[in-house]
């Protein structure tokens, strides 16, 4: 496992060196010497019948779809899921994304060598989320060992069936017994096991600015930060009156928090197209802030919540964001 982490860290350093060199030597865009700038998007949580093919993928970026969500809960009453609170299943994950449209066949079509989005597209799944059947998707574990055993088994089956490349951790609520230490051991051991078995090659966390959330992810980062590649920090959970200077301040604060621990500290910036999202929006200075971070060499990538909401306006801001990241690279097909 240690050697795998080192490989990933080493690859990340090469990225920075390569992009700096490319910028210095040739202001115009160089051919797709991977890795390209990173763009990630959540998909499948909101029942909008959105498909992978609906979403524009720019050939000049590395594009990660993040299937939302796999959750370790089950309906108490299978015949009427909203009749009673769902029950936690102690790490036995089930698929809760739009399975009718985001199928194993759709994932394999996306990655097929003749597909226009191949080879710059990868697919991850996200664990947890805010709610399940309208109730909090609270993190619950009877014990670390039981949760990890169940999670490794159930997720390996889902990941293999779908041909998925990575996991994202997005629990947003925690039980009283599920302390930061318990959460860190459960999730850290899960991700380490999946990576060392070669089941996944990429992992991220998705915290936001809330004391309980930061306490849990902070402990995970302190113990297992080196096992994670990216931090999908939910900047759209900040107030909707966030200004560009405030946004930059939040970015510096969170980059400091998720540095160290041997982790790359790769905090990605984000905006939401969900009406419930807040933060700094694309029409209100988000790209001005990105330009400043890029000038400083600190723009590691952009992610969006969520494709389900963006389908209505034809993915206007996803197009903008990918064009922004790709620079002079040849555009959308
Ligand atoms: C999604 O598809 C289902 C089944 O075809 C349909 O009943 C539903 O209205 C669709 N939802 C949206 C938002 O298009
Ligand atoms: C499901 O349960 C809810 C809440 O108890 C109830 O309002 C609804 O009528 C039930 N639906 C069905 C189809 O039984
Ligand atoms: C859901 O979780 C939040 C904190 O994460 C809590 O404030 C809220 O009371 C919870 N809601 C329910 C219905 O338990
Ligand atoms: C921004 O919004 C927050 C709450 O969402 C509020 O507390 C704060 O006063 C607002 N700031 C300004 C400058 O309006």
DSSP string, 46-80: S-S---GGGS---TTSEEEEEEEEEESEE-SSTT-
Choose the residue to mutate in 77, 78, 81, 83 for probing ligand 2, maximizing ligand atoms within 8 Å of C-beta: 83
Q: Angle at which helices 104-111 and 144-162 pack, to 10 degrees?
A: 60
pLDDT at 218 over 80: yes
Contact of 169 with 186, CB cutoff 8 Å: no
Looking at the predicted structure, is the pLDDT value of residue 24 above 80? no
Q: Tens of pLDDT along 269-298?
A: 999 999 999 999 999 999 999 999 999 999
pLDDT value for 16: 35
Average pLDDT of the chain, as a whole number? 89
CATH number, position 255: 3.20.20.80
Ligand nearest to the CA of 178: 3
- What number is the average pLDDT over the span 299-304? 96
Instruction: Tell me which residues have their CB closer than 6 angstroms to ligand 3.
Output: 136, 173
The pLDDT value recorded for residue 23 is 36
Instruction: Check whether 209 has a pLDDT greater than 60.
Output: yes
String of b and e for 159-170 (b: at least 16 CB within 10 Å)? beebebbbbbbb
Q: Taking a C-beta distance cutoff of 8 angstroms, is the pair 222, 261 a contact?
A: yes
Ligand sitting nearest the alpha carbon of 47: 1
Written as six digits, the tokens of 52 are: 């992978």
Do the beta carbons of residue 300 and residue 36 sit within 8 Å?
no
Q: Whose CA is nearest to atom 3 of ligand 4?
A: 239
Distance, CA of 286 to CA of 125 (rounded, Å): 26
Separation of CA 84 and ligand 2 centre (Å): 9
End-to-end CA distance of the chain: 39
pLDDT confidence tier of residue 237, bands split at 50, 70 and 90? very high
pLDDT at 111: 86
Residue from 46, 99, 172, 185 carrying the catalytic annotation? 172
Q: For residue 175, what pLDDT is reported?
A: 98
**Residue 333 counted as domain residue:** no
> In angstroms, what is the span from residue 91 Cα to ligand 1's centroid?
30
Neighbouring C-beta atoms of residue 16, cutoff 10 Å:
12
Taking the centre of ligand 3 as the mean of its atom positions, its distance from the CA of residue 133, in whole angstroms, is: 14
- Higher-pLDDT residue of 257, 21: 257
Q: Please give the number of the atom of ligand 3 that sits closest to the Cα of 172.
A: 5
The 8-class DSSP code of residue 177 comes to S
- pLDDT at residue 148 above 90? yes
What does the pLDDT read at residue 14? 34
172 catalytic residue (yes or no)? yes
Residue 9 lies in a domain: yes
Burial class (CB in 10 A: 0-12, 13-18, 19+), 258: buried
* Torsion sign over Cα 83, 87, 89, 91: positive
Q: Are 132 and 88 in contact (CB under 8 A)?
A: no
The CA distance from 209 to 196, in Å, is 31
User: Is 218 contained in some domain?
Assistant: yes
Cα 138 to ligand 4 centre (Å)? 29
Any ligand 4 atom below 6 A from CB of 243: no
With 60 as the cut, is the pLDDT of residue 162 above it? yes
Q: What is the pTM of this model?
A: 0.89
**pLDDT, tens digit, for every residue of 104-127?**
999 999 988 777 666 799 999 999
Q: Between 98 and 11, where is the model more confident? A: 98
CA of 239 to the centre of ligand 4 (A): 7
Number of compact structural domains in the chain: 1
Alpha helices (H) in the chain, listed in sequence order: 2-25, 104-111, 144-162, 180-196, 211-224, 244-257, 286-295, 307-310, 316-326
What domain range includes position 35?
Answer: 2-326
In this prediction, residues 261-266 reach a mean pLDDT of 60
Q: Is the Cβ–Cβ distance between 35 and 93 less than 8 Å?
A: no
Residues 6 or more apart from 136 whose CB is under 8 A from it? 130, 172, 173
Per the listing, tokens 């799944």 go with 125
Contact indicator for 171, 183 with CB cutoff of 8 Å = yes
Is 249 within the bounds of a domain?
Answer: yes
pLDDT reading at 261 higher than 70: no
User: Is residue 80 within 6 Å of ligand 2 at its C-beta?
Assistant: yes
221-236 per-position pLDDT tens digit: 999 999 999 999 999 9
Tell which atom from ligand 3 comes closest to the C-alpha of 174: 5
For residue 26, the model assigns a pLDDT of: 35
pLDDT band at 265 (very low <50, low <70, confident <90, very high): low
Q: 139 to each of 16, 167, 193, 321, how far by Cα in Å? A: 35, 16, 19, 33
What distance in Å separates the CA atoms of residue 42 and residue 162, rounded to the nearest whole number? 16
**Ligand showing the shortest atom-to-Cα distance for residue 84:** 2
Q: What is the pLDDT of residue 22?
A: 36
Q: Which atom of ligand 2 is nearest to the CA of 83?
A: 2
Residue closest by Cα to atom 7 of ligand 2: 83
Instruction: Work out the average pLDDT over 12-24.
Output: 35
pLDDT-based confidence at residue 264 (cuts at 50, 70, 90): low
Sequence-separated (6 or more) residues with CB below 8 Å from residue 2? none
Whether 192 shows a pLDDT value over 80: the answer reads yes
Residue 26 covered by a domain: yes
d(CA 25, CA 106): 40
Any idea which of 116-130, 139-153, 182-196, 301-315 has the lowest mean pLDDT?
Answer: 116-130
Provide the pLDDT for residue 13: 35
pLDDT at 34: 53
- Ligand 1, atom 13: closest residue by C-alpha: 48
Whether 332 maps to a domain, the answer reads no
Say whether 28 sits in a helix, a strand or coil: coil
Tell me, in angstroms, the distance from the centre of ligand 2 to residue 135's CA. Answer: 15
């Amino acid at each position: 496992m240690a050697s795998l982490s080192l490989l990933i860290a080493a690859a990340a350093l090469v990225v920075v060196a390569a992009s700096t060199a490319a910028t210095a030597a040739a202001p115009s865009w160089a051919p797709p010497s991977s890795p390209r700038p990173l763009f990630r998007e959540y998909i499948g949580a909101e029942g909008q019948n959105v498909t992978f093919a609906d979403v524009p993928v720019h050939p000049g970026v590395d594009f990660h779809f993040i299937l939302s969500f796999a959750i370790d809960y089950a309906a108490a009453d299978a015949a009427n899921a909203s009749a009673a609170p769902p029950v936690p299943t102690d790490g036995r994950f089930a698929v809760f994304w739009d399975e009718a449209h985001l199928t194993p066949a759709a994932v394999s079509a996306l990655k097929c060598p003749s597909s226009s989005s191949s080879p710059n597209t990868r697919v991850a799944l996200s664990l947890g989320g805010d709610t399940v059947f309208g109730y909090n998707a609270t993190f619950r574990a009877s014990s670390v060992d039981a949760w990890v055993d169940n999670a490794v088994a159930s997720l390996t089956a889902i990941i293999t069936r779908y041909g998925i490349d990575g996991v994202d951790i997005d629990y947003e609520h925690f039980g009283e017994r599920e302390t930061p230490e318990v959460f860190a051991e459960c999730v850290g051991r899960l991700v380490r096991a999946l990576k060392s078995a070669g089941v996944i090659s990429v992992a991220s966390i998705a915290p936001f600015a809330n004391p309980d959330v930061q306490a849990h992810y902070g402990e995970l980062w302190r113990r297992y930060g080196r096992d994670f590649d990216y931090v999908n920090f939910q900047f759209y959970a900040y107030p909707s009156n966030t200004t560009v200077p405030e946004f930059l301040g939040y970015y510096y604060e969170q980059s400091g928090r998720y540095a160290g621990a041997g982790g790359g500290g790769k905090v990605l910036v984000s905006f939401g197209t969900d009406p419930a999202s807040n933060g700094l929006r694309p029409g209100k200075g988000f790209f001005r802030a990105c330009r400043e971070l890029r000038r400083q060499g600190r723009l590691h990538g952009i992610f969006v919540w969520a494709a389900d909401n963006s389908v209505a306006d034809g993915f206007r801001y996803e197009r903008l964001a990918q064009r922004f990241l790709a620079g002079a690279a040849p555009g959308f097909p």
